Structure 1
Amino acid sequence: MPFCDGEFTKQTDETGKVFLVTGANAGIGKETVLEIAKRGGTVFMACRNMEKAKQAREEIITATNNPNVFVRQLDLSSMDSIRQFAENFKKERDTLHVLINNAGVMGLPRTLTKDGFEMQMGVNHMGHFLLTHLLLDVLKKSAPSRIVNVSSALHEQGTINVDDLNSEKSYSRFGAYNQSKLANVLFTRELAKRLEGTGVTVNALHPGAVDTDLVDSWPSAMKFLLKPAVWMFFKTPKSGAQTSLYAALDPDLEKVTGQYFSDCKPKEVSAAAKDEKTAKFLWAESQKWTGIKE
């Protein structure tokens, strides 16, 4: 039986609150939406694959009897798609209480987003950097509100390659992933400072090693070799969603910001994740890549 050291067991009523979860049609994202819907929240599932998303939505509504679950198209590998999504969302809703940046890709061979970004850095960090900025006005208006960034313990293995951020000179499929997860934590900590006094908090987390479709892009031999380990040691998606739910819902965290959680409790980040110079470099580069002005 897969282990789970952390479980979010507090009972909360999320009626009247609006949530947005990226990558919500499967895995951790779907389980996160399911639990929020059980608690009465209004949830927007922001997904690339609309067919899978609609099926997941139907399953969630059937399981929770909560009709306030909506699917909207979002491709985080396209700046145009992100901008269109944010524009449409703000026309539809004037409140957003919790943004959960959950979507991610892992271990891909080197591929590029529609805008020419290395895919893992593009989707895992740059896409969420842009989406978050475009929704900050509505998050501020809805305060107290929260931003939750799903990172990974693998951020500890990551390095921000200041001379080759887009992996053009050399590429490692897991090195690029680790870099993108470190970027999530650096972004979280820097954004928390910039949002001081607004009532909007931002925290990052490690969901645990979770058996999800993130591994679909891995080579077949690697998946075959890892299969016994996945069964024995990896969490289920439901267990993997617990720390996301903790960061998004726990009343005790209303004013907690700039933190990193694992197994529903605070955890220290790597030395690289505390490097303010690197954080400022990444912020400036992210602005250039996404076209965001201060």
Structure 2
Amino acid sequence: MTVSDQHDDLSFGIDSTATEVLAGIDLSGKVAIVTGGYSGLGLATTRALAAGGARVIVPARRTDVAREAVAGIDGVEVDELDLADLDSVRAFAERFLASGRSIDILINNAGIMATPLTRVGPGWEAQFATNHLGHYALVNRLWPALTADGGARVVVLSSGAGENPRINWDDVHFADGYDKWAAYSQSKSANILFAAELDRLGRAAGVQAFSVNPGYILTPLQRHLAKEEMVGAGWIDEEGNALLPEFRAPEQGAATQVWAATSPALAGDGGAYLQACKVAKTFDGPEDREAAERLWALSAELTGVDAFGKSE
């Protein structure tokens, strides 16, 4: 792992907002997809991109909730997508490809955190399935649209929990004992490795990928945590107010993923891990490369789809 700040825009940082990082950038005519773009960081991202002129598609498992959340935001449309269901991923991708549109920005924002043990599909652990495998399948199925107009930006939302990537290769679905935080950390590690490998594979087609740590933000992502747990961790007080000075508003948390999706300053930093609107790490060492390739192969095997190899 190496750290680079050669292309950082020093005017942006942890307190910047999604709107501020878009100042002077015209997204008119651009098409963006933001998974989970109707809640928390995703909604802040949708608002900023739409205000910048982009047409924003918000794939959502709860389409009624999504339509209510984005009502009144010009240039936004909602479609159905359940990332934990590969048939739903396929159906969404097929509908989008049939529209004939290209994709300029794809932000893999949706996710779940610290859930009780939940099995989806063929018995997959839900956090790995939703946070990683669903997005892996989505990107690969949308590949023709991502490359149709000379390339795109793909942004994968990760977390500080995954910045030293660890995959439980012998038991990725936690069949032998489940720990909700270990499972979450693994899924966020997978997000980082996926972005690094996607950037390497997609570079020839003009596609760049980044992983992003948005920082500490109180959003519905914490819905599976009891208030007592968050109070005990020192995150909030008994009234639900944030205690940690690191906590930022959703509009600030969304800044780095919007910056990753649009900043010309990042043209040479594909594959990097970003936080606070800065390049924090790159994952291009031999061990990182081996893990990223291994994860890609496993993901292709599990989902049956690979835009760079054999697909079902």
- TM-score, with normalisation over the residues of structure 1? 0.91
The letter for the 1-side match of 2:121 is K
* 1:278 maps to which of 275, 284, 291: 291
Q: Of residues 15, 28, 43 in structure 1, which corresponds to 2:28?
A: 15
* 2:257 corresponding residue in structure 1: 244
CA deviations 1:73-116 (Å, max 9, x no partner) are 11001000000000011112421111000000000111012342
Instruction: Give the corresponding residue for 2:14.
Output: 4
The amino acid across from 1:21 in the alignment is V
1:58 to 64, 68, 71: 71
- Could you tell me which residue of structure 2 aligns to residue 97 of structure 1? 104
In structure 1, distance between residues paired with 2:251 and 2:286: 27
Partner of 1:31: 44
Q: Which residue is 1:230 aligned to?
A: 242
**Quick check: 1:166 aligned with 2:178?**
no
Counterpart of 1:266 in 2: which secondary structure?
A: strand
- Pairwise mapping of residues 1-294 of structure 1 onto structure 2 (< 5 A)? 4-7=14-17, 8=21, 10-59=23-72, 61=73, 66=74, 68-156=75-163, 158-225=165-232, 226-228=235-237, 230-233=242-245, 234-268=247-281, 275-293=288-306, 294=309
CA deviation after TM superposition for structure 1 residue 203, in Å = 0.8
- The aligned amino acid for 1:107 is A
Structure number with higher helix proportion: 1
Report percent identity of matched pairs.
Answer: 34
1:269 shift after superposition? 5.5
Relative to 1, partners in 2 of residues 1:201 and 1:31: Cα closer, same or farther, differing over 3 Å? Answer: same
Structure 1: distance between partners of 2:180 and 2:231: 18
RMSD over aligned Cα, in angstroms?
2.0
Instruction: Report the residue type matching 1:227 in the other structure.
Output: I
> Does the aligned pair in 2 maintain the 1:108–1:173 contact within 8 Å?
yes
Any unmatched runs of 5+ in structure 1?
Answer: none
What is the aligned length?
A: 286
